[in-house]
Amino acid sequence: MLWIPGPTEVRPEVLAELARPAIGHRTPGMAELHERIDPPLKNAFGLASESSSTVAVHSTSGTGMMEAALRGAGQRVLCVVNGAFSRRFSQVAESLGKDVHVLDVVWGFGVEPDVLAAALEEHGPFDAVTVVANETSTGVRTPLGPIGEVVRQHEDTHLLVDTVSYIAGMPVDFDTNGLDFAFAGVQKALALPPGVAVFCASERYLERARGVSDRGFFLDPVRVLEGHVNRKTPITPAIPHYYALARQLEDIDAGVTLPEGERGKRGAEAWRARYEKHDRMRERTQAWAAGHGLEPFPGEGFRSSTVSCISGGDLDVAAFVAGLKELDYEISNGYGDLKGRTFRIGHMGDHMEPDLEALLGAADGVIAKLSAQPTA
Ligand SMILES: Cc1ncc(COP(=O)(O)O)c(C=O)c1O
């Protein structure tokens, strides 16, 4: 069973959607798929019914959407870097020839609002700020509201947010938090096979993007978003993935993926209950770790509800991960420099609390076995 920080387990009924007979992408059937996707996707981004922001789907990955977000942004970009994926966001910006200022934050923490405010004052003005809401490499969640508030003090600065391992696990609240562009691949907390990405853009982002020249074609956010809105995707989309996306979003929206006692919940209430399930899983995982004398890697206040990154202490992390794999539980070693020093448990997507108990029980067994072994 996959407990890595994505891709994660996909429910069989969602997988079955991928096997539907092919349809043409310029047909009423395809338009109908778009119609099914949009309302629950708005709930995934936490849009109010009167919101002027627009949601869309593209047949690409999370990294593809980093590039798309930046293709519609202005030239001067401040990139908050606190892990491997936020570093990638800055590298994508550099590769597009943007004028990039990197605001380095110690791994294990999110950017503090006053630090961001000072960087914007000192090094600005900027057209955009990039932030990764949930650093999958470190299990760090950056609270979005205070960041949005800071960016909103700068009228011409747009906030571009990677919500790849965040959406459907924690509330995006796109408008309330002052986001201008947010995106995600679907293989993480949305619990779908990789293959498409979802995104949301504010009116002011789109207004500016329309004026940016040389936005390319395949990753032009305006072209892709307008294609979605007009039910005329600029390319042949990954149609089977649209079926799976529609089914999964509708099921989340209808409370189908919730613990049994909560299945009567619908719409925004069902999404909130999903986030609360992930909060409980974070708490439980941390309590389990504490029972073994292990600490979360992220600082207090920055701990993700979808990915727990735990410092391994004296534990032989590679042997621990391998021991669990033997029992058919896949978790991840630390990312990059954190390999061997941390491990990551992706309690995201449709995993349920009894499944987590089973994993942690197996982990207890592996740790007991490792500590019984004589050290070399
Ligand atoms: C936070 C974050 N951003 C971006 C990516 C890259 O996404 P993709 O591999 O779909 O391009 C990942 C992948 O793990 C991620 O965790």
Expressed in angstroms and rounded, the spacing between residue 60 Cα and the centre of ligand 1 is: 11
Q: What are phi and psi of 170, to 5 degrees?
A: -145, 155
Q: Ligand 1, residues 57, 60, 63, 66: which to mutate, most atoms within 8 A of Cβ?
A: 63
List residues bridging with 99 in a β-sheet: 76
- The mean pLDDT value of the chain amounts to 97
The 10s digit of each residue's pLDDT in 135-188 is 999 999 999 999 999 999 999 999 999 999 999 999 999 999 999 999 999 999
Ligand 1 pocket, residue 62 CB under 6 Å: yes
Backbone angles phi, psi at 71, to 5 degrees: -65, -25
**Contact criterion met (CB below 8 Å) for 58 and 221:** no
164 touches ligand 1 (CB under 6 Å): yes
Percent of the chain with pLDDT over 90: 98
376 has a pLDDT exceeding 70: no
For the chain, list the strands marked E by DSSP: 54-58, 76-81, 99-104, 128-132, 134-135, 140-141, 158-162, 181-185, 197-201, 307-311, 332-333, 342-346
Which pLDDT score, from 0 to 100, does residue 375 have?
61
Alpha carbon nearest to ligand 1 atom 8, residue: 62
Cβ proximity of 330 and 324 under 8 Å: yes
- Cβ proximity of 34 and 41 under 8 Å: no
Confidence (pLDDT) at 373: 84
> pLDDT digit string (tens) for 65-89?
999 999 999 999 999 999 999 999 9
Which domains does the chain show, CATH number per domain? 12-252 (3.40.640.10), 266-372 (3.90.1150.10)
> In ligand 1, which atom is closest to the CA atom of 61?
10
State the pTM of this model: 0.98
User: 61 CB less than 6 Å from ligand 1?
Assistant: yes
Question: How far does residue 191's CA lie from ligand 1's centre (Å)?
Answer: 14
Q: 91 CB under 6 A from ligand 1?
A: no
Residue with the bigger pLDDT between 48 and 364: it is 364
